[in-house]
Structure 1
Amino acid sequence: MKQMHMRILSNQQVSDRYWHMVVDAAGLDAEVMPGQFFNIRCSGETYPLLRRPFSIYRINRNERTLEFLYLVKGLGTKRLTERKAGETVDIFGPLGRSFELQDGWKTVLLVARGVGIATLTALAQDAAEKGIRAAAILSARSRNDLLAAETLQGFGAHVYKVTEENGNSDVESVHRLIEQILAEHKIDAAFTCGSKRLSRLLRDVTASRGIPAQIALEEHMGCAMGVCFACVCDVREGEALKTVRVCKEGPVFPLEKVVLA
C-alpha cells in the first residue's frame, strides 16, 4: 500500500445518484486486485477529516488507470463530486484482501446490489481475462442504477437485471432466478456484495450445494489500516465467533464464515 496524489482524468455524474471517476495510476507500482479498495481524501480541505473507502470498479493495466463508481451519499462523496479533471486526489492503497479465482473454474455466479455492482465488475473483468465466464445478477432500485450492466456484458458476462421498479428484486424472485441459473450452468463459485439479504440467500443456496462463495463487505471505516477497529465484523471459527477487521482481514471473506445480522 502507498499514499499517492493521483491526477483525476475525469469525474462525471452518470445517473441521479452515481458518479464515475478515473484517475491516472501510472505511479502506482503495487498490484491492484479485484475486491481491494483505496482510501480517498474526498476534499482538498481538512473537513471532512476522515478518508472514504472506495472499491475498485475497473483496472486498466495498459493505460495504467483506475476507475471508481461511487454513490453520492454523504458529505464526503458530495465533496468528491466537486473535484475536477486535472486536479490531484490524495489516495491511499491498495488495501485489504482480494477475491480469489481458482485455476480450473469455468463459470462463476455474481450477485450484487446497488454500489456492490461496482465491486464485482472488477472481478468480472479479472475472470474474463482468465477465461472464466460469469453469470451476473444485478439488483437495484431502478434501471437507472444498473450502471455496470453494459460493462459486464462487454466482459462476456450473462447479465440478469432485477429492480424494485420492476417488482422482481425481492428475495423470493432472486432465489428462483439463482435456481434457474444453477440449472442452466455448472457454477464453480459464487461472489456477492451490496446486500445482506441477498448474501444470506446466496449463502444458504451455495452451502446446500457445496459451492464455494466469497463476500466483499461494505463497512464505515476510520483509519482503514486496522488500528481503530471501527469496521469490525464477526466470523465463524469452528464453533466459536471471532471479531475481525473488515479493512485488514477483509473486505473479502468466505461467505459461509461471515455472521450476517
Structure 2
Amino acid sequence: MSKCKSQANGQDLQTSYPIQEAVTVVKSNQSINGEYRKLILDAPTEILNCQPGQFFHLLCPLETIDQPYLRRPMSIYGYYPQKRELHFLYKVTGEGTRTLAGLNPNDKLNVLGPLGVGFHIENNCQNLLLLARGVGLATLAPLALEAKRLGRNLTAICSARSEDVLMSVDYFRNLGAQVITVTDSQNTSNIENIKLIIEQLIADGKVDAMYTCGSNRFLKLLQDIGQQHNISGEIALEQQMACGVGMCQCCVRSFNKKHGITHERVCREGPVFKISEAMAW
C-alpha cells in the first residue's frame, strides 16, 4: 500500500519558476528516427530554472508556405543550465512543427517559459513507475533525471508502434532505470498486457507512485490500478492551447475532485494533474 500523496497543481509557480521571453540559438536540430526530431537550443540560464513536466511556448518561424499564427506549446525534454541547453523532442505533424524542422544551426528561436505546474516526487516515494507512448516519453525524461538525482528507483514502460520508433529507451537505461518495452508490432502494447506488467511490478514492491502523459488509455488504466492498490500518481495532459498563460481559457478541462466537477486550465493549473482527478475525453 502506497503512502505517497500527489501534490500536483494548486501552487503558484511565479516566484520559483518566473516566466520569461527569450531569444535562443539553435545548436542542432536532427532527426533521431523515422518519426521524431531533437531540437537543442543555446538558451539563457535564467530561463533554465525549470521543473520536470513544464513546457515552453515556441514562436515558430514564418516561411513562404507555412506561417503559423500562434505559438506552439512543447514539453521540455531536457534542461541543462551548466551547458546553457534547452532540449525538445517533437514529431512533424502540422505547419508549426514543419517550420521548426526547417531550423538550422545558428538560427534564432523565440521561446516563452517555463510554463505550467510540473511533476512532484514526494519524499517517501522510493519506487517510481513511468508509463508513456511515443513522444509522450519526452515529457517524462526530465522526471527520470530528477528521480536519478534524488536516488529513487525507476521503472519505465515505453510503448510504440514498433521497435525502430521506441523513444528514450537508452536515455532511461543510462539513468539506471529498469526499462520495459512494448510495441504494437510484437502485440505487447495492449492495455491488458501492460496491466499484467504493472500488477507484477506492484507485487514485487516496485511501485510507490505512477506517472504518465497524455493517453486516455493509460489514464484510465492507472486510475483503476491506483484505486485498487491505493497508489497515487500524476499525469501530464496534452491539450490545444492559444496563449499558454491562462488568459484565453482555450485549454480548460474538467476534473473530478472531492467537492465535485471543476474546470481548470491545462496551461496554468497544469499540465500536470493528479491521476485520480483527471477525466478522460
Q: Common fold, TM-score beyond 0.5?
A: yes
Query: Pick from 183, 201, 206: which aligns with 1:181?
Result: 201
Equivalent position to 1:11, from 29, 32, 41: 29
> 1:217: how far off?
0.2
Do the aligned partners of 1:115 and 1:194 also contact (CA within 8 Å) in 2? no
Matching of residue 110 in structure 1 with residue 126 in structure 2: no
Tell me which residue corresponds to 1:137.
157
Matches within 5 A, 1:168-247: 168-247=188-267
| 3-state DSSP of counterpart to 1:256 | coil
The letter of the residue matching 1:62 is Q
Deviation of 1:27 (Å): 4.0
**How far apart in 2 are the matches of 1:5 and 1:95?**
16
Residue of structure 1 aligned with 2:184, choices 164, 168, 189: 164
Q: Specify the code of the residue in structure 2 equivalent to 1:232.
A: V
Query: Of the two structures, which has the highest relative contact order with CA contacts closer than 8 Å and spacing of 6 or more?
Result: 2
Aligned to 2:44: 26
Structure 2 residue 106 is matched with structure 1 residue 86? yes
Distance in 2, Cα, partners of 1:23 & 1:159: 28
Give per-residue Cα distances to partners, 1:91-115, cap 9 Å, x unaligned. 0000000100111321100111121
Shift of 1:26: 2.9
Contact 1:20 1:68 in 2 (8 A): yes
CA contact (8 A) 2:48 2:81 kept: no
The percent of aligned pairs where both chains have the same amino acid is 38
CA distance in 2, matches of 1:188, 1:175: 16
Residue in 1 aligned with 2:15?
none
Contact 2:75 2:138 in 1 (8 A): yes
Q: Do the aligned partners of 2:67 and 2:95 also contact (CA within 8 Å) in 1? A: no
Aligned mates of 2:238, 2:144 — CA distance in 1? 19
Cα deviations by residue, 1:181-226 (Å, 9 ceiling, x for unpaired): 1122332211011311011101110121111100000111111011
Give yes or no for contact 1:221–1:231 (8 Å, CA) kept in 2: yes
> Is 1:58 matched up with 2:81?
no
Contact 1:117 1:194 in 2 (8 A): no
The C-alpha deviation readout for 1:153-182, integer Å capped at 9, x for no partner, is: 111111110111111111101111111211
Q: Give the letter aligned to residue 37 of structure 2.
A: W
Question: 2-side partners of 1:228 and 1:143: how far apart?
Answer: 40
Select the residue among 148, 155, 158 that pairs with 1:128. Answer: 148
Which residue of the partner structure matches residue 4 of structure 2?
A: none
Secondary structure, aligned partner of 1:6: strand
| Structure-1 separation of matches of 2:45 and 2:157 | 35
Residue 44 of structure 1 and its aligned partner are, at CA, apart by 4.0
* d(CA) in 2 for partners of 1:114, 1:30: 25
Deviation at 1:144, TM superposition (A): 2.0
SS where residue 249 of structure 2 aligns?
coil
Instruction: Determine the structure 2 residue equivalent to 1:70.
Output: 90
Gaps of 5+ in 2: 1-18
Distance 1:164 1:93 in 2: 35
Describe the SS at the equivalent of 2:158: strand
Aligned to 2:61: 43
Gaps of 5+ in 1: none
Q: Structure 1 pair 75/104, CA: closer, same or farther in 2 (3 Å)?
A: same
- Say what the alpha-carbon RMSD is for the aligned residues: 1.4
Deviation at residue 29 of structure 1 after TM alignment: 4.5
How many residues are matched? 261
Letter matched to residue 31 of structure 2: Q
Moved more, 3-12 or 28-37: 28-37
Displacement of 1:43 in angstroms is: 1.3
TM-score by length of 2: 0.89
SS of equivalent residue, structure 2 residue 199: helix
Distance (whole Å) between structure 1 residues aligned to residue 84 and residue 230 of structure 2 = 38
